[in-house]
A and B are shown apart, each in its own frame.
Chain A
Amino acid sequence: MWKFLLPMGAFVALAVLFAFGLNPNRDIHALPSPLIGKPAPLFNLTDVMDPARTVSNTALKGQVYVLNVWGTWCVACRQEHEALLDIARQNVLPIVGLDYMDQREKAQQWLMQLGNPYTAVAFDTDGRTAIDWGVYGAPETFLVDGQGRVIYKFISPMTPEVWQHDFLPRIQAARRSGA
């Protein structure tokens, strides 16, 4: 009995392990964020377009909003830009940008040439805000609920499908429960 069961068990265990580990859809760089369910870190930074103005998420309390981390050096950000413009046109919620490890002039150029999907873009000069949010690359997109808690983090270029499947239902749920 054991002679049969042991190899069988070992085979099943390996099969499960490989099914998980070799899954081509699994992004090995995507890590679960410890921030989920926690209060969104507050920031108070200058506006990319106008250094005299500040962008802060304190004022957004009570609203569901998206924080999108990007930079002009980031190829995948260029890739998701169309999707972001599209989402902005739907006017569902504020999209706050966090320009990370970037140069202000380049960022301004990018927004003027490609279009600006953001309600406001904060300029993270020294990467401190990014560290507070546990950012380790770009693009990263966070969803924050009305109580100011991070409820979702998406690591990869945004697409209309991801928006439809991963973001919209969560936004609706957050609005329903958060009043």
Chain B
Amino acid sequence: MRRAAAALAAFGAALLPGAILLGALLAAASPQVCAEPARALDDYGQLTNPALQARFEHITAQLRCLVCQNESIADSNVELASDLRRQVREMLLAGQSDDAIFKFMTDRYGEFVRFNPPLEAKTLLIWGAPFAMLLLGVLIVYRIVRQRSRLPLDDEPAPGSM
């Protein structure tokens, strides 16, 4: 059991640089760390109400521009994105809730328009897959480690034989 723990620790140590690198990459990719990305501009400036403007920025960043597909409608300069920003703006000014705006968009463009699909029965696979993969990886490592810990000890070189 000791050997198993030691092997596991060694395995963990081997993974550590990778994990650090991954963490650094994730941190670099998140908007908190890197500079604010350039936003597409419309003729009408910001909303005068800062709370509404904050909601506007949040919502438009969560909606996919279907022309470019990997850009949000907040970032895209495509005409469709501009039309959709106008739509979000008008709905906010009309006092509609975030949910109502997202529903308006998914009713027309489908779930694909949302970068963060809500957790539902049909999106369970998307949300669950990473955890399932992690679990699978842990099981595989556990099996390998357990098998190796059962190997006889005499394959180690005797002290002083080098």
A interface list, Cβ under 8 A from B? 29, 31-35, 101, 126-128, 130-134, 136-137
Choose among A31, A34, A132 the residue that contacts B66 (Cβ–Cβ < 8 A).
A31
B28: CB under 8 A from chain A? no
Interface residues of chain A: helix, strand, loop or mixed (majority): loop
Chain A hits for B67, CB < 8 A: 136-137
B interface list, Cβ under 8 A from A? 66-67, 69, 79-80, 83-84, 87, 106-112
Chain B hits for A132, CB < 8 A: 108
Query: Known contacts being A29-B69, A31-B66, is A136 close to B80, with CB within 8 Å?
Result: yes
A127 touches B110 (CB 8 A): no
Chain B hits for A128, CB < 8 A: 83, 87
Assembly CA distance A131 to B80 (angstroms): 8
B83 touches A131 (CB 8 A): yes
Between A and B, 28 residue pairs with Cβ closer than 8 Å are: A29-B69, A31-B66, A31-B112, A32-B110, A33-B110, A34-B106, A34-B107, A34-B108, A34-B109, A34-B110, A34-B111, A35-B108, A126-B83, A127-B79, A127-B80, A127-B83, A130-B80, A131-B83, A131-B87, A132-B108, A133-B108, A134-B108, A134-B109, A136-B66, A136-B67, A136-B80, A136-B109, A137-B80
Max chain A Cβ within 10 angstroms of own Cβ: one of B67, B80, B111, B112: B80
The smallest C-beta distance from A145 to any residue of chain B, in angstroms, reads 19
Chain B hits for A133, CB < 8 A: 108
Assembly CA distance A157 to B107 (angstroms): 25
Max chain A Cβ within 10 angstroms of own Cβ: one of B84, B106, B107, B112: B107
Query: Which B residue sits closest to A35, measured CB to CB?
Result: B108
